[in-house]
Amino acid sequence: MWTFDGTDGEVLVHTEVSGPAAWLGHRLTLAMPDWEATLHWRGDEPAAIDVRVAVDSLQVRHGEGGLAPMIGPEKTLVRSRALAALRATEFPEIAYTADRITARDDGYRLHGTLTVGGRSRPRPIDVAFGDLGDFWAVTLRTPIRQTEFGISPPDLLLGLLKVVDTVTVSVAVTRFKDDSERRPG
């Protein structure tokens, strides 16, 4: 069994903006630093994974673009709105569970279920494994449609500025190689 948490890497959410006034909006990078994952093995192959992310750990890392740079009070407002949209008080955790993992040329495909805001949807996710000498690198980028989970992307200025429905979740993790542990692939 391998375990990971926020000290091993990061979980980021990237947003985009659209509409005639998109130039006024910020493309956000949000961090979710409080997370943990447990990877179970069957022989030398990964067999299942369970990931939990604490919604209230959400941080606004930065906003690109926009009319003016994003500063502290604006980041606080964005965080507050994001937590409300995710219904963080009612659903404090985002979860991903996969009971089937299949090998691919550059890594694995996770066949699992993503739960956000109390709604669960099947979600295959492709994960890349890399050998960095003394470390394993695990990376992924996957699109998530907010409306699939009952989240309405915000719009401003009477709809002239909209947050795009699809966000991209990226994960980058490293793990020190231990001779007693299993090797991917």
String of DSSP letters for 27-56: EEEEE---EEEEEEEETTEEEEEEEEEEGG
* Structure token pair of residue 174: 């490293």
pLDDT for res 30: 97
Predicted confidence (pLDDT) per residue in 28-48, tens digit: 999 999 999 999 999 989 999
pLDDT for res 23: 86
Cβ density class 59-73: b for 16+ within 10 Å, e for less = ebeebeebeeebeee
pLDDT for res 180: 55
Predicted confidence (pLDDT) per residue in 91-120, tens digit: 999 999 999 999 999 899 999 999 999 999
Secondary structure class of 154 (helix, strand, coil): coil
Q: Among residues 171, 17, 26, 163, which one has the least CA distance to residue 85?
A: 163
Region 119-128: what's the mean pLDDT?
97
Query: How many other β-carbons are positioned within 10 Å of the β-carbon of residue 55?
Result: 20
How far apart are alpha carbons 33 and 35 in whole angstroms? Answer: 6
